[in-house]
Structure 1
Amino acid sequence: MTLFWIASVILVVVSVLVISLPFIKKKSNIDDELRDELNKAFYKDRLEELEEETDEGLVENQQELIEDLKQSLLDDIPSSQKVQQDSSISTLAIMIPATLLVVGLSYGLYFKFGASEDVMKWQQVSANLPALSQKLMSPEGAALSDDEMQDLTLALRTRLHYQPDDATGWLLLGRIALANRDVDTAIGSMNKAYGLDPESTDVMLGYAQALMLSQDDVDQDKARRLLGKLVQQDYVDLRVFSLLAFDAYERRDYAAAVRYWGIMQQMIGPQDSRYEMLTRSIENAQKQMGQQVGTGKSVSVEISLADQVNADPNSSLIVSVHTADGAPMPVAAARYPLGSFPRTVVLDDGNSMLQDRKLSSLDTFMVRVRIDSDGNVATKQGDWFGESEAVRMGEPVEVMIDSQY
């Protein structure tokens, strides 16, 4: 804003100088000078004519005519003092009003029609960008009011105009567009962010979410590929499974939707307020498949860590269900991100290892839980583990991870 006022002052000063420049020069009126030059030329020409007329005998009183010519020339020369005084008066009379007029019109018209209040608000909004961005990125980002969303959009577009290589800025702009259901803007912004930072999980997830809302099959296929990459990573965001479940349900792949929602339940545990909502979603998908809700058997396992366990956050959690005699070969097994503890996971027939031997066929069983630190299920050296007592199907299962191979 300071640069604007400095530039405006410079422009006003230049304008005043341009108007006043012709009157600043210290010389007589140019018209008077031209007249003097013309009179001198006329005097010389007339003298030459008188010489020729005298030689031809046409003029007898040459000297008197020359005197008269000199007198008429002197009478036509203006007073230099008067010319200088008139010039000085005319210069001040024009420069002062011109200066006042330029300054008054310039700033008066700007404050009247120049949207100075909007410019000041724009500057304030741009300065408030970090605070608005942090509020959007926080879990309470949806609490942004409509005015705050508009301010954030304006500030982001201003920043991206000057910093087009800011991947985070494009990501934020895409999230705002998603909140406003502006699919085209969301896809365009997320695409720019993905082009600048293709390895960022946040960018990949946001881009997949935007593409999932598109009506174009090509966009939706690209979204599934992005989600597929995210699922293969060590830590998978809960929103990835939510998008996969939504997509599966929309494609009427209800079995896949149930599986993804079941994984989400395992990740958050029954103490989370979203658990019941996911249960209703699973029941609805099962109804769509023609299944009777509640007849399928499942195993719910509550897992906790002993105090001495120090697990790598990048490790995986392997949960396996075995026959009651503790046979090494599991009947069902599942792998999860480590997450936080205590937590609850649920296994059902979808986790069975063999097609002809379902988890629901067991009357009694035991559960083993292991923290896999290297990603290879065949190696166990240094891994922490725990196992349950033999229990009957339908009974709760608790496992404490407290031992190490």
Structure 2
Amino acid sequence: MTLFWISTVVLVLVAIALLAITLSSKKANNDEQLRDELNKAFYKDRLSELEVENEEGLVENQQDLIDDLKQSLLDDIPQQKVQKDNVNISPMAILVPSVALVVILTYGMYMHFGGATKVKNWQEVTANLPELSKKLMAGSAEPMTEDEMQDLTLALRTRLHYQKDDATGWLLLGRIALANRDVTTATDAMEKAYRLTPNDDDVKLGYAQALMMSQDEMDNNRARGLLTSLIQEEYVDLRVFSLLAFDAFEREDFPGAIRYWSIMQKMIGPEDSRYEMLSRSIESAKARMGEPIVEGKSIAVTISLDPEVRVPQDAALIVSVHPADGSPMPVAASRYPLGTFPRTVVLDDNNSMMEGRKLSSLDGLIVRVRIDSDGNVATRDGDWFGESQPAKLGDTVEVSINQQY
């Protein structure tokens, strides 16, 4: 700020110096001198003419004419002196009020239109960035006010303008935008952070959160891919399963949502205050399904799609559970909309196919998944499918669709 005011003083002094130079270099008025020389030249010429006229006898009284000519020359001198007295104004009389006017106009207009108060506030907020960031990251009992969030956003934007490679700053800006439901800012900030540190789990999670808020299905698919990669890490953040559960619920993949919420319950334990909230979410998903899931007697199937598989848009997903001996007749099966991959579905006794034989009666099982391309379960030509390894009830089974009939 001090440098700014010094620069304004320098500029004002330069303007005053230019004004002073202009006034001091005023062109001298030489009109009197020029007129005197002209009068003298006229007087001499007229004398010469009178001599010639006298010699020719054209002038009767030469001396009278000479006296009149001299008088005319003398009459012109006082008038020039009066005019000189009238225009003799001191340069200081102009310079002093001009300097005052320049100073008053310069600083007066800046104070009125220049936003000096806002600039000062902006600099104070920028200087307070470390303290605001610490308060946000610490998650203190006293939440940040709306004004503090706005100040933090302003300070972060200022810092990131000069330090574009600050991944932590972009991540922090993205989190603030997520809290304010500003999808565009959140996505842009998280994307910049992800490009700078693509292997950072916190950045991946933040970017996935921002993409999940988008209305674009491609963004949602990319978010699911990021979340799936996070599940494969040695430590998985609880928020990863929360996002996957919410996404599955929104897509009406209620078994998948229940599966993720159940995993979250196992991670936090019954003593956690969030346990009951997750139980209510699970009950809500069960209600949306129409029938309850039998606890402890279900099988969760995580399905992935091989990159080479090309699936028709109107295809359906058929998941069937068979005895471990590989019997072609399924004990339980369910049909789902194709949706997106990877995805998780859950089958239980409600999906049983045969009277008197339920899924819960199986000691061992295998899961087969098929993409039905024509809507007829009896035909399989050209359909893609996959099969799991032998498993037991309660396990999480993984199936990759990578074969074709």
TM-score > 0.5, shorter chain as reference: yes
Alpha-carbon contact 1:209-1:243 (below 8 Å) kept: yes
Cα deviation, 1:146-192, whole Å, max 9, x if unaligned, reads: 11111112222222333333332222222222111121222222223
Equivalent in the alignment of 1:249: 249
Structure 2 partner of 1:328: none
* Match runs of 1:5-404 below 5 Å: 5-25=5-25, 30=28, 32-48=29-45, 50-52=47-49, 54-55=51-52, 57=54, 60-61=62-63, 71=74, 75=78, 78=81, 86-87=88-89, 90-140=90-140, 143-292=143-292, 295-296=295-296, 354-355=365-366, 358-359=392-393
Of 261-270 and 136-145, deviating more is: 136-145
TM-score in terms of structure 2 length: 0.64
Give the superposed CA RMSD: 3.7
Q: How many residues align?
A: 305
Q: Secondary structure at the match of 1:271?
A: coil
> TM-score, normalization: structure 1?
0.64
Please list the CA deviations of residues 272-328 of structure 1 after superposition, one character each: whole Å capped at 9, or x if unmatched.
Answer: 222222222223323333443564359xxxxxxxxxxxxxxxxxxxxxxxxxxxxxx
> 8 Å contact 1:135–1:141 — kept in the other structure?
no
Partners of 1:152 and 1:353 in 2: CA distance: 57
How far did residue 34 of structure 1 move?
A: 3.2
Residues 11 and 141 of structure 1: is their aligned pair in 2 closer, same or farther, counting only changes over 3 Å? farther
Deviations 1:86-141 (A, max 9, x none): 45xx2222222222222223323333443322221111111111211222223349
Counterpart of 1:380 in structure 2 is: none
1:36, 1:77 within 8 Å by CA — same for their partners in 2? Answer: no
**Distance across 2 between alignment mates of 1:197 and 1:53:** 107
Structure 1: gaps (5+ residues): 299-347, 362-405
Partner in structure 1 of residue 302 of structure 2: none
Report if aligned partners of 1:187, 1:207 keep a CA contact under 8 Å in 2: yes
Q: CA deviation at 1:217?
A: 0.8
- Deviation sequence 1:344-374 (CA, Å, 0-9, x none): xxxx999x9843763479xxxxxxxxxxxxx
1:288 is aligned with what amino acid? R
List alignment gaps of at least 5 residues for structure 2: 299-347, 349-358, 367-389, 396-405
The answer to which of 60-69 and 201-210 deviates more is: 60-69
Shift of 1:200: 2.5
Kept in 2: contact 1:47–1:66 (CA 8 A)? no
Q: 1:294 to 1:158 in 2, by over 3 A?
A: same
Sequence identity (%): 51
| Distance in 2 between residues matched to 1:116 and 1:253, nearest whole Å | 56
> Any conservation in 1 of the 2:160–2:170 contact (CA below 8 Å)?
yes
Change (3 A) 1:3 1:65: same
Measured after TM superposition, the shift of residue 240 of structure 1 is 1.4
User: Closer, same or farther in 2 for the Cα pair 1:279/1:266, shift >3 Å?
Assistant: same
Structure 1 212/78 Cα, relative in aligned 2: closer, same or farther at 3 Å?
same
* Greater mean deviation of Cα atoms: 69-78 or 46-55: 69-78
Report how far residue 142 of structure 1 moved.
8.5
Residue 14 (structure 1) shift: 2.4
